[in-house]
Amino acid sequence: TVSSPICSGSRSSKTFKPKKNIPEGSHQYELLKHAEATLGSGNLRMAVMLPEGEDLNEWVAVNTVDFFNQINMLYGTITDFCTEESCPVMSAGPKYEYHWADGTNIKKPIKCSAPKYIDYLMTWVQDQLDDETLFPSKIGVPFPKNFMSVAKTILKRLFRVYAHIYHQHFDPVIQLQEEAHLNTSFKHFIFFVQEFNLIDRRELAPLQELIEKLTSKDR
């Protein structure tokens, strides 16, 4: 029997992409635990700083995986509200519209609905994270020379999911009582990309006011 392909447009499952796990016992796992412990202190500025004696690439890698998992989970809670009908274009408010291209499968940017765009985006990010030559999980395996530029592209794209949620789906976020969770996650993300200068200011423009509001209290 031929099984019919599941229509990618309908995602009833709450988790949107499988969680990327950092292997227990690895150095990256220790780094993740360190990040979680410092986050627990409530001081996000301290939490994003490179721990003494650690490799910047590895620190960026661990945190990028963590942000992917967080955004995955946050977006997963509102997928019922983000549909082809409600979001026919991928936008972050009236002034910002995103078209998808990954440079390999889709070279010329295409206009698509927000759920389709985010599906492309998260699948693409996951493929990068699963690539051992880009994100080595084994100790002693060096990071490639282009690692930082790939990480910057991943983070730039993950930011767009936050921007879409804030601009188009903030009401359901409040209804689901996810607001504090979303704000903390986004604030952590912003402090991190600011600390290591990973996203161009122009890319952050759709949420500039929110960024100023969230970060001004912690100067």
N- to C-terminal Cα separation, the chain: 62
Q: Is 87 annotated as a binding residue?
A: yes
Cβ contacts of 181 within 8 Å, gap of 6 or more? 74
**Helices (H), ranges, 96-207:** 114-130, 147-168, 170-175, 179-195
Q: What are the start-end ranges of the E strands in the chain?
A: 90-91, 97-98
Q: Is 82 annotated as a binding residue?
A: yes
With tokens 């499988």, the residue in question is 18
CA dist., res. 62 & res. 56, Å (int): 10
Residues 31/61, Cβ–Cβ less than 8 Å = no
Q: Is 7 annotated as a binding residue?
A: no
Annotated binding-site residue numbers: 82, 87, 164, 169
Annotated binding-site residue numbers for Zn(2+): 82, 87, 164, 169
